[in-house]
A and B are shown apart, each in its own frame.
Chain A
Amino acid sequence: MSCEGLNPMPQARNFRRSPDEVMRLVRMGCSHPTRLSFLRQLLRRMRAEGWRFDRPVWEIDAKGVGHAVYRAIGPVRTYSLVAFAHDLPPEVRSDRVIATAWDATFALFDGSPTLADLDRLAANVPLQEAGRISPRELSLSRANRSVRLFDHVVERLAKGAQPDASMLKETGYLMRTTAVYGSGKFGAADRSAIAQRPELSAPFQAEMLSVWLTRAFTVDLVEHLARAKGGDKAARLSPELKRALGVGNSTGLGMAPFLIHHPVLLNNWMLAREEALARVRAKIRVGSTERAGFMSALAEARENADLWTSAHDIQRAKLADLRDSLASIAAHVAQGWDQSAAHPWDDLWCWGQETLPLEGQEALLAAMLEPHGALIDGLGECMDADEDAHFAINGAMRVGELRAILRTHYDWTLGIDYTERAQCARFWYVSEDKLEPRLGERHEEPGAERELPLDTGRQAAALWQALQDQPEDQPVAHLLMAAPEHRLAVRRAQITARHPFAEIRDNLIAAEMLPIDILRCKLAFFGATRFDPRSDRWVRISLFQDAPYPEDLNGGGHEA
């Protein structure tokens, strides 16, 4: 990150949290979306730049089968979501990566597709992984209906009535995506080919745009089916109910290794958020507008927490913590918060640190950032990363310096005995059938000899041991000549020395490690809400709930 010189608030440095505090899985697994989340950045840009949206193609039949095109027209470029709607028998509906058919499939096209493009996409996009897309496509995705709600909404609208509001709010979406592939997957354009475009430079903007347009498609589809069924008496979804709908997403282990494989990127995400918090804590007064914005964010968080449900024991406990915490924050703000303190936001934050569980602390963070857009939104531009620039190992570094880096940034792992059964209970691997990341039980399942190098803590500890007998002035290049097995750990240590938030500071192969903590952190940066684990490695979430639709932004639109 190279934005230090542009920092409008250098004094915020004194209010930053340490990586040792922030980069623990137990805290990362309590992450909440903030105004720096990637979907929020997308919406803000489109509103600020006056993007226009249309739907030039809608060729869907009365059974809901066909295709449609949604265009997002920016000041320089146009992007089009090409959607294919299918007639899917219930017995083949599956959210898992092993599925071979879906209710709808999508590609985000770079520009406005011609008929030839649509023909090519029709032959490939419905096949997903079994097909092939081109550099003209920026993402490939699919979605399944939330069957019970989808059918209910169609039935009600067909009769000229609105769907049951509580049922709609409980589920929160008509369809859920089960994979959104970008960054060169299955032939799509590489990230490096589009990263220089201002509108796509922040992380995952193409994927977010695809999902946002998918949301519009899901509503258009239920209204279309209702008209096909009910004719003239069919109703359209009320604006209030429509706005409460997002797009669901089912996701699993496949996205977990991303944060380990991209340490510089992870650092930049975390550092931007931490700098944002520090800037707010460093403020010396609470303006009336900021206070009102904070109260509004708090109220929305409480409403969201009330609607947020989960059947998973861990998440249910967290939800209880969250609801209690939000109530405590509201009470403290009304009665105990000293707004005349030297740094009133810091005063509130420190109270939260002493009083609230982790779930409440991270929710407080999100609410505190919310009214401070002018102060922190620019940090969104620091959240991408030129990872190639940090790839080369500095072979001239001396062992003494490397040892000091490990002592400073890897103290969390140096005391762990990785020969203990529980400390090495898991191993990550790539599955033979779908080439997807999986998590195995080392002491019970075969395959550990083909382990993925996600045991970052164990590698660092092994490097530390290997350095014990080495002279302080020995260059790293010589060390690696003699012990090439430590290459990954050396690279990560050198990266972490310059990017202190690059490393998850926990044992990722421990028996007690919860992959859903990694998923929640990443999904919160996307802007996901209603995090709902279905196992310790599989979750459902919602995106874009309560966000504007394309037609809302066409004429200016709402605050994003």
Chain B
Amino acid sequence: MKHDPRTDTALDLSLSEISALTTRATRGAGRTWGEAEEAAEAACWLARAGLDWAGALLEVLQPPEAGADCALRTGIALADAAALSGPPKAQRTINSPCFLLPFAARMADQTGQRIRVTAAETQIVLAPGACPLMVGPGRMSGPALVALAPDQQDQSPCPDWPQTHRGMVLATEYARLTQLMMAFTVPTSAHSRAGAGAQGDDND
């Protein structure tokens, strides 16, 4: 995607672009491929929910502040363990609470139970397969104390997923993610370039 990073306008990306950019930027930031794949899935989930996927991702890719856990690693561990131990009861300080939501949603899917995430003054209910129901100011930047718990009493309906399949990103965020992405690319070698096209010109 071509754009002018000097202006901090909002750019509209497809989910496919968000996934590719997130995978590569996460890997470029030095995370494992497994984490990169998980980050891409999570970023697309956030974008579909209309949440700030790019801001949350950039927060995750920063080294966590002392005493705060990485939302990506924490989310992966909790989601992996969901089928073992059921809905979690956890409370910890997380560097980017927003990025924990897709993993809490997966826990809800795996256990078939609603999960309530509380981060500062915002509460989010995640029902299996549903769009997140958010109550509160909605600011979920971190680090913040985050609590996860089963939500068996609250049966208020969760909103339907929006029909849009896009996500917004500020130009400055896009530039930063692109910068991270470029850290994992490789200059094309002469050998590879030679084999990547036809032998000879294409005016035949």
Contacts and interface: CB of A to CB of B under 8 A. Distances in A.
A147 B80 contact: no
Given A144-B202, A538-B198, A187 B185 contact: no
Contacts of B15: 184, 190, 192
A299 to B, nearest CB: 30
Given A187-B1, A392-B110, A441 B191 contact: yes
A415 interface: no
Nearest to B166: A135
B10 interface: no
Given A192-B165, A485-B34, A187 B17 contact: yes
Given A186-B1, A190-B14, A430-B184, A538 B203 contact: no
A429 B33 contact: no
Interface string B58-97: 0000000000000000001101111110000000000000
B37 A488 contact: yes
A44 interface: no
B32 A93 contact: no
A130 B196 CA distance: 21
Contact of B81 (A253, A432, A477): A477
Nearest to B13: A187
Contact of B14 (A187, A432, A450, A487): A187
Contacts of B32: 484-485, 487
Nearest to B204: A148
Q: Could you say which interface size class chain B belongs to?
A: 35 or more
A119 interface: no
Interface string A458-499: 000000000000000001110011001111100100000000
B12 A484 contact: no
A437 to B, nearest CB: 10
B202 A250 contact: yes
Interface string A170-200: 0000000000000111111111110000000
B110 A431 contact: no
Q: Which of A183, A535, A540 has the most CB of B within 10 A?
A: A535
Q: Could you say which interface size class chain A belongs to?
A: 35 or more
Nearest to B45: A388
Contact of B195 (A94, A97, A147, A537): A537
B203 to A, nearest CB: 5
B116 interface: no
Nearest to B48: A192
A159 to B, nearest CB: 23
A23 interface: no
A439 B192 contact: yes
B2 interface: yes
Contacts of B187: 431-433, 447
Overall SS of chain A's interface: mixed
Nearest to B202: A95
A5 interface: no
A534 B188 CA distance: 19
A93 B186 contact: no
B197 interface: yes
Nearest to B187: A432
Given A93-B201, A476-B80, A536-B195, A447 B186 contact: yes
B24 interface: yes
Interface stretch (A205-213, A321-329, A393-401): A393-401
Contacts of B198: 95-96, 250, 534-535, 538, 540
Q: Which of B17, B197, B201 has the most CB of A within 10 A?
A: B197
Interface string A513-541: 00000000000000000000011111010
Contacts of B52: none
Contact of A432 (B79, B83, B110, B186): B186
A440 interface: yes
Interface in B29-56: 32-35, 37-38, 41
A282 to B, nearest CB: 38
A438 B17 CA distance: 19
Nearest to A187: B14
A4 interface: no
Contacts of B195: 439, 535-538
A8 interface: no
B153 interface: no
25 contacts: A94-B201, A95-B198, A96-B202, A131-B2, A135-B165, A148-B204, A184-B16, A185-B14, A187-B17, A189-B165, A253-B196, A392-B109, A395-B80, A430-B184, A430-B186, A432-B185, A432-B186, A433-B187, A446-B189, A447-B189, A480-B76, A481-B77, A484-B32, A488-B33, A538-B195
Interface of B: 1-2, 12-17, 24, 32-35, 37-38, 41, 76-77, 79-84, 106, 109-110, 165-166, 182, 184-189, 191-192, 195-199, 201-204
